[in-house]
Structure 1
Amino acid sequence: MQKKPYAFTYSIWWNLLLMVVGASLWAWAFKAIVIPHQFFSGGVAGLSLLVSYWLGIFPVSVWLLIINAPIFVMAWLMVSRRFFLYSLFGMLCLSLLIEIMPWTVAVENKGLAVLAAGSIMGAGTGIALRSLGSLGGTDILAIILSQRYNVRPGQTNFAFNFTVFCLGLALFSLDEVLYSLAMVFVAAWVMEYFLGMFNQRRLVLIISDKPEDIARRILNEMRRGCTFLHGRGAYTGKEREVVMTVVNNVQVKRLEELVFTTDPNAFTIVESTLNVLDQGFSERKKY
């Protein structure tokens, strides 16, 4: 019972750290690469940039706060108060950092600028979404759709951005819009990579004449659970137990060594999984 306050405090500081790091990367790419090259980022930040250019009043950071207001109401009503507060912190950090960051990056080639900005912004968003909050804007919409309809965050962001790019044609040239679209595509891909790199696991099916021995070694030596599935050979008609287990990427080779030293004739299938929810791997994130 005494460990709970410590764990709770650690969780708060860890989540705030993720928000600050994610917001810093995103704001740096936005201020140092996107604006100097006259790209726009899509999402609420891109919409804020368009409105700022169009009306000529208030900086981007102020419009970011204004447009985010109704989205944060949705976060409060449809997700949780904790998610709302973390996301509010992230959005305020992002707005402040965009306003005060002085740095620019000397990248003259627009193609390289697209790759650099997209990669950094995608990494920043992905790191922030590893927390229990977000950076606001379309990230909140992505979380809501992911929770309710299992829509991947990168898909939500890219779909929303398409509308923003259509509006951007009124203020930017076609070349600038296409560069911006490519940048957002890179950002969405990198964000999905950061979100998935810690959750990828390998589902392994092992067909062997020594299933009991293999299962025992998996349990005792690798400290991983496994399950017997009842199987029957289509050609031989022979019934046997199929061993099913889940391991992380670095354990695959060790599992292969374990299996084939037990039964050199074993038939092993290794598949990638999108996500595994379990106390031994990743617990379901509760916002």
Structure 2
Amino acid sequence: MARKTTLSVKRIFLVLLGSLFMAISVNGFLIPHKLLSSGVTGISILFNYLLDIPISLMILILNIPIFIVGYKLINREFIIISFIGMISLSIFISLTDNLPIFVDDVLLATIFGGVLSGLGAGIVFTNRGSTGGMDIIAVILRKYFSINIGNTLFIINALIVLISSFFFGIKLALYTMISIYINTIVVDKVQEGLDRKKAILVITNKYDEVTYAIMNQIHRGVTLLEGKGGFTKDSKKIIFCTIAPFQLAKIREIILKNDQNAFITVLDAAEVVGKGFKNKE
């Protein structure tokens, strides 16, 4: 059987879909109310407001040197899929240039523009790509200078908001800041919130009974870790198991039924890859 390529049709399609959502956010919600986006797209919108340069063209111009540097310094596959994302975003922004104004209220435009943009960006990031621009710069800074990506993007976006306030007033700048913040929250939710799992750690003296019950009633595999009591110095078996959130109540019931003195810790987990969960690509 042929090996599945990392640049699959599905992955490219989802990057295109995410780029389309971002373009609709720009032309349908942000631009009609003189709002900005984050990163290179935000800078391109600013040039459009001030100099009437097409946003799609400005995105291409600003990204050319970034991709040249990125191609030499970071993962080629990431650069290729990001190039697809950048080109598609530029094309979709051009194609959706004449969208009608979806909402007249600037606050609603701020909220839904941020949500739709974050949804699109989240889809692109989940497929291990980007739409170029500041994302590539941030990856380079993290790789070679150990500078946090989040801090880099925050500083860049803060500068965009500051410039926006100078040209368009503090009110629209604050709306832009709200939109960027919502964008960030939605990106995180798309990348992690849609694939949330629960990781269970159980310390029990009846690990055989608990392990057997979990595997036969929940149908999830478990791993036994070696532990040692900090006070008693007694050796302990620690049960580790990853489950879907809806299985939490059931597994808790099973554990306590077999050992009422069991110590249970529940942790949030995301992007769980392996047998029984997401397949490796």
TM-score norm. by structure 2 comes to: 0.86
Residue of structure 2 equivalent to 1:86:
81
1:270 aligns with 2:266: yes
Contact 2:226 2:235 in 1 (8 A): no
Distance 2:92 2:276 in 1: 37
Q: Once the two structures are aligned, what percentage of the paired residues are identical?
A: 27
Contact 1:227 1:245 in 2 (8 A): no
- Give 1:150 shift: 8.5
Q: 2:172 aligns with which of 167, 170, 176?
A: 176
Secondary structure at the counterpart of residue 245 of structure 1: strand
Secondary structure at the counterpart of residue 168 of structure 2: coil
Residue by residue over 1:103-127, the C-alpha shift from the partner in whole angstroms, topping out at 9 and shown as x without a partner, is 2343222222111111110010000
Secondary structure at the counterpart of residue 206 of structure 1: strand
Q: Aligned in 2, Cα 1:66/1:270: closer, same or farther, shift over 3 Å?
A: same
Q: Which amino acid aligns with 1:71?
A: I
Secondary structure at the counterpart of residue 33 of structure 2: coil
The range that moved more, 17-26 or 217-226, is 217-226
Distance 1:198 1:104 in 2: 31
Secondary structure at the counterpart of residue 103 of structure 1: coil
- Equivalences, count: 278
Contact 2:222 2:239 in 1 (8 A): no
Secondary structure at the counterpart of residue 8 of structure 1: coil
- Give 1:281 shift: 5.2
Residue of structure 1 equivalent to 2:156:
160
Q: 2:9 aligns with which of 5, 9, 13?
A: 13
Distance 1:156 1:48 in 2: 18
Q: Aligned in 2, Cα 1:62/1:160: closer, same or farther, shift over 3 Å?
A: same
1:29 aligns with 2:25: yes
Residue of structure 2 equivalent to 1:59:
54
Contact 1:52 1:60 in 2 (8 A): yes
Distance 2:81 2:214 in 1: 40
Output the aligned Cα RMSD. 2.8
Q: Aligned in 2, Cα 1:253/1:150: closer, same or farther, shift over 3 Å?
A: farther
Contact 2:45 2:55 in 1 (8 A): yes
- Give 1:179 shift: 0.6
Distance 1:21 1:8 in 2: 20
1:99 aligns with 2:133: no
Contact 1:50 1:171 in 2 (8 A): no
Secondary structure at the counterpart of residue 225 of structure 2: strand
Contact 1:229 1:243 in 2 (8 A): no
Residue by residue over 1:67-116, the C-alpha shift from the partner in whole angstroms, topping out at 9 and shown as x without a partner, is 01121123212222222221111111111111111323432222221111
Q: Which amino acid aligns with 2:201?
A: L
Q: Aligned in 2, Cα 1:141/1:274: closer, same or farther, shift over 3 Å?
A: farther
Q: Aligned in 2, Cα 1:132/1:233: closer, same or farther, shift over 3 Å?
A: closer
TM-score norm. by structure 1 comes to: 0.84
